[in-house]
Structure 1
Amino acid sequence: MAVGSKAALACIDVQEDFCDNPDGALAVKGARALAPIWNELLSLPFAVKLATRDYHPRDHISFASQHKGRQPFTSTLEVKNPENEQDAFTTTLWPDHCVQGTPGCEYISHLDLSKLTHSIEKGQDKRVEMYSGFGPPYRNPKFGMTGMEEELKKEGITDLFVVGLAFEYCVKYTAIDAVACGFRTFVVEDGTKAVDQSEQNLAAVRKELQDKGVVLIILDSPELEKMKNS
């Protein structure tokens, strides 16, 4: 880390519905086994330790159950900016997950919540899909941002370390947005798992992250060794 830098940790969507053993509604294989890594990172002296969570209404647009004839994982949908229909993106449709008021929406009990300084909820607007902890991908105009950028900048954060679920969705888009917001951004690969764990998919996600300016590291990378020794 550079002299004068100030680092934050973002644990993305570490929720019951995204974890296996037992399987949540949208379980990622091997996710729950990462809890010791998340807690190890939370024990380090990051200036901000935040977690995000999906916080969906029961009729969220990303649920295949809300679209007749559509199937989770295989069907897609074009989701438009409520303030500009020309600003749209295509997303995968999912099983119902992380519904407000259900056990699957909660952070996993294995996570040391006492270490968190901030918790950010996302995906409350039923009209909008939101992978990134910063907000939806709409930029013309921006719509439904979570306030995460403002919170980090208020705390003087320069560097953001990202872990959580899932690698090719919410982790990836959070990291890409973090770079766009001006943060030096690191994804700790030991601390994340993908929905599609094929090597082809993992390689494509790594390349996209690197092309966008995200640095991929592991637990014993120098950047984290400096945190451990500070």
Structure 2
Amino acid sequence: MAAQSSYNFRPALIVVDMQEDFCPPNGSLAVAEGRTITPVINELLSLPSFVAKVTTQDWHPQNHVSFASNHPPPNNRPFIDTVTIYHPDDPSLGHYETRLWPDHCVQNTPGAELIPELDASKATHNIKKGTDPRVEMYSAFVDPLGVCDSGLNSLLQDEKVSHVYVVGLAGDYCVKSTAMDAVKLLGLEGKVFVIEDGTKPVDGGEPWEESKKDMESKGVKVIGISAKEVRWLYGEGLEA
């Protein structure tokens, strides 16, 4: 990728779901080492180069369709079983399979709160997602059936965002879906970056490697914190 011009570099940062329920030691859906990525994220939040810094939160009602507890046994084992979600207005409009989870990030509970060590005060916006009990919503933009639009797409378009950097939890679910939707909805193929030092997956090892390949195939670049695309945020490698 050629040197980036400072005139058309309008990056946004999306910090996905850094919430108590996704973090050890007490999260109901804790991602291994989830808290350890906070210093990387806080460093990014401190940078003035972003035109928008967005934190997101899963904000589920208690009767959310992704909760295993809301489905009858025996096929309601969290992490193991799945459920088919149909378009709530018209099943012929589409459906998809989603994994069942423990109850997590229920609205107005301690588990739904952003972790206190996150410098959330440096964010410019907060987006709450997964608020409709009828559909799963990993992406911070929209659910797979187009039922719920968080407003994030319009926000970033209004800011004339040219590049998107995504960090947070979990890498193989909400981070992945958010990054791929940023490419799809904003038309930013090759200009959406998941910073691997700033995320952790639910399923590590080979499943995470496959998730990274999937993102790359959709136009997302998975990069490290020392990559040139991160140095752009510090003004390095930018043409005047």
TM-score > 0.5, shorter chain as reference: yes
Q: 2:156: which partner in 1?
A: 152
Q: Deviations over 1:65-114 (max 9, x none)?
A: 00011110001000111233130100000000000111000000010011
Partners of 1:40 and 1:188 in 2: CA distance = 12
Q: Aligned pairs, how many?
A: 225
Name the SS for the 1:79 alignment partner. Answer: strand
TM-score in terms of structure 2 length = 0.91
Q: 1:190: which partner in 2?
A: 197
Q: Deviations over 1:161-193 (max 9, x none)?
A: 000000110000001101001132110000000
TM-score in terms of structure 1 length = 0.95
State the identity as a percent: 46
Off by >6 Å, runs of 4+ in structure 1: none
User: Is the CA contact 2:4–2:232 (under 8 Å) kept in the aligned structure 1?
Assistant: no
Residue identity matched to 1:104: G
Matched, 1:29 2:32: yes
Q: Which moved more, 1:76-85 or 1:52-61?
A: 76-85
1:65-76 mapped onto 2 (5 Å cutoff): 65-69=69-73, 70-76=76-82
1:18 equivalent among 14, 17, 22: 22
Q: Deviations over 1:19-42 (max 9, x none)?
A: 01x230100000101111110111
1:1-230 mapped onto 2 (5 Å cutoff): 2-3=4-5, 4-20=8-24, 22-45=25-48, 46-69=50-73, 70-86=76-92, 87-138=94-145, 142-181=146-185, 182-183=187-188, 184-198=191-205, 200-229=206-235
Deviation at 1:150, TM superposition (A): 0.1
Aligned-pair Cα RMSD in Å: 1.1
User: Is the CA contact 2:140–2:174 (under 8 Å) kept in the aligned structure 1?
Assistant: yes
Unaligned runs of 5+ in 1: none
Residue identity matched to 2:133: K
Unaligned runs of 5+ in 2: none
Partners of 1:66 and 1:143 in 2: CA distance = 20
Partners of 1:121 and 1:202 in 2: CA distance = 25
Partners of 1:80 and 1:18 in 2: CA distance = 26
Partners of 1:32 and 1:23 in 2: CA distance = 11
Partners of 1:113 and 1:195 in 2: CA distance = 23
Q: Which moved more, 1:78-87 or 1:210-219?
A: 78-87
Partners of 2:181 and 2:121 in 1: CA distance = 27
Partners of 1:103 and 1:114 in 2: CA distance = 18
Deviation at 1:197, TM superposition (A): 1.1
Deviation at 1:158, TM superposition (A): 1.3
